[in-house]
Amino acid sequence: MSSGGVGSSNGTSPSGSSRSDAHTSKQAKAISDAIDKSLRAEKEQRQKERGAKLLILGPSETGKTTVLKQLKLLYGRKGLDAERQTYRRVVHLNVMKAIQTLCNGLRQSGLALERPENEVHLETVSRLETTLRRYSITSIGFANPAIPRKITDAKAETDMFYEMVPAINALWADRSIQAIFQNASKLNLQDSAKYFLDSIDRLADPNYVPTDDDILQARVRTLAVTEHVFMIDNVTYKIYDVGGQKSLRKYWAPYFDDVNAIIFMVALSAYDQPCEDDERLNRLQECIMLFNSIANHKLFENTAIILFLNKIDVFQKKLEAGIPVVRYFPDFRGPNNYAATTLYFQSKFLEQCKDTQKQVYTHFTHATDTNQMRVIVVAVNVIVQRLNLRNSGLL
């Protein structure tokens, strides 16, 4: 009886008090965790609202503008519709430039046309050289503002293209021109030449409107820095595309501040090509040297680098055609197949980083393939957001 009275003197047993304290502590922790979760969510939201700044860098003709076209197609409000009619002009100019380049290659080779009657078409194309210089295929297909351009030029280009169609068709069907095409590495021929030349009748239709694939394949030379804004997974991205020619790289520096990530573009298919402005230098070797300067730049010490080893479709075709990597990169040891050569080139780029701890995210890309680029853009977004959270102390 007395022991019962002692145990209930204040109405609570020792074990009950312990349970009460544990319950209170658990409640306090739950409240603290909820507050932490709320603060974290707010900080993540602010991080998203602040957005991300990306630079797309690399030499010319590596696919930088093609990646931007894919972003417009995947995340732009109107896709590529706003530029569709403008690209009609670009496609026509691309076709004329392609046949002109092949005819120049024919003359340089000393090879005769298979069909003598095509000589008249060769003369017609030779007159294109001075005419095409008047036209500028620059950023998103519009004329370079630094180059005077009459408002009637677009119609003049279209009329010129229609006049050229019979010559283009006849020459592209000539076996000698086809032989030049098969060995065109040194001609600086655009990668989409065959795509467009095989479709000449479709492109010559008076009602022709460029498809998404046509726009992705069209070659556009970027002569200025352009800013593009995209919303990807509720994050605002400001992406800057810059001209890759040597003469334009001096304009890159002002855009280096406060960059979250750099997408560095490489054309793997250029391993057997000389630089356009210096034929003594291999195009891919020059790309490696440029990557070295970017990867080790003091402003990019804490900047993520995403390496796009691009044009793998063209690269694989060259390997299958038997063009040996070792001829242009003597230190390569291994079979001339896709697995061995891609591993070699990936290593060549990664070893440029003096900081061995620097994270470089590599993707093998085919920038004109929308399905592949959709997957890669999602992966890039995850990388950028993870790095943003880590830099903000949230990871």
DSSP, residue by residue, 141-204: GPPPTTS---TTHHHHHHHHHHHHHHHHHHHHHSHHHHHHHHT-GGGT--TTHHHHHTTHHHHT
Domain residues for the domain of 100 are 83-217
156 domain-assigned: yes
Same domain, 228 and 371: yes
Active-site hit among 83, 157, 241, 272: 241
391 domain-assigned: no
Which strand (E) or helix (H) includes residue 263?
strand 261-267
324 domain-assigned: yes
18 domain-assigned: no
Same domain, 125 and 229: no
Domain boundary among 192, 217, 242: 217
Half-sphere exposure of 314 (CA within 13 A, CB side): 28
Same domain, 210 and 355: no
Same domain, 260 and 202: no
Same domain, 323 and 358: yes
Active-site hit among 236, 245, 352, 372: 245
pTM: 0.77
Q: Is 342 a catalytic residue?
A: no
Domain boundary among 217, 244, 267: 217
Q: Which residues fall in the annotated binding site?
A: 61-66, 191-192, 216-222, 241-245, 310-313, 367
**Residue 220 DSSP class:** -
Same domain, 189 and 113: yes
358 domain-assigned: yes
Q: Is 219 a catalytic residue?
A: yes
Same domain, 108 and 135: yes
389 domain-assigned: no
280 domain-assigned: yes
Q: Is 198 exposed, middle or buried (0-12, 13-18, 19+ CB in 10 A)?
A: exposed
Gap between the Cα atoms of 128 and 97, Å rounded: 8
Same domain, 70 and 141: no
Gap between the Cα atoms of 223 and 38, Å rounded: 46
- Beta bridge pairs of residue 265: 308
Gap between the Cα atoms of 180 and 183, Å rounded: 5
Same domain, 195 and 292: no
Q: Which residues fall in the annotated binding site for GTP?
A: 61-66, 191-192, 216-222, 241-245, 310-313, 367
Bridge pairing between strands 261-267 and 360-364: unpaired
Gap between the Cα atoms of 251 and 185, Å rounded: 29
Gap between the Cα atoms of 141 and 159, Å rounded: 18
pLDDT tens digit at each of 395 positions of the chain: 444 443 444 444 555 556 666 667 777 777 777 765 655 555 555 444 557 888 888 888 899 989 999 999 999 877 788 888 889 988 998 999 999 999 999 999 989 999 999 999 998 888 776 566 555 444 444 333 333 343 345 567 778 889 999 999 999 999 999 999 998 888 888 899 999 999 999 999 999 999 999 999 998 776 667 788 888 888 888 888 776 555 555 556 656 667 888 899 999 999 999 887 788 899 999 999 999 999 998 888 878 899 999 999 999 999 999 999 999 999 999 999 999 999 999 999 999 999 888 889 999 999 999 999 999 999 988 888 887 666 655 44
Active-site hit among 124, 219, 272, 273: 219
Gap between the Cα atoms of 309 and 288, Å rounded: 11
Q: Give the total number of structural domains in the chain.
A: 2
Same domain, 92 and 71: no
Same domain, 93 and 72: no
Gap between the Cα atoms of 181 and 178, Å rounded: 5
Which strand (E) or helix (H) includes residue 307?
strand 304-310
Same domain, 177 and 229: no
Q: Is 61 a catalytic residue?
A: yes
Q: What is the CATH number of the domain that holds 145?
A: 1.10.400.10
Nearest to 345 by CA among 283, 278, 279: 283
Q: Is 130 a catalytic residue?
A: no
29 domain-assigned: no
Q: What is the CATH number of the domain that holds 229?
A: 3.40.50.300
315 near 268, Cβ under 8 Å? Answer: yes
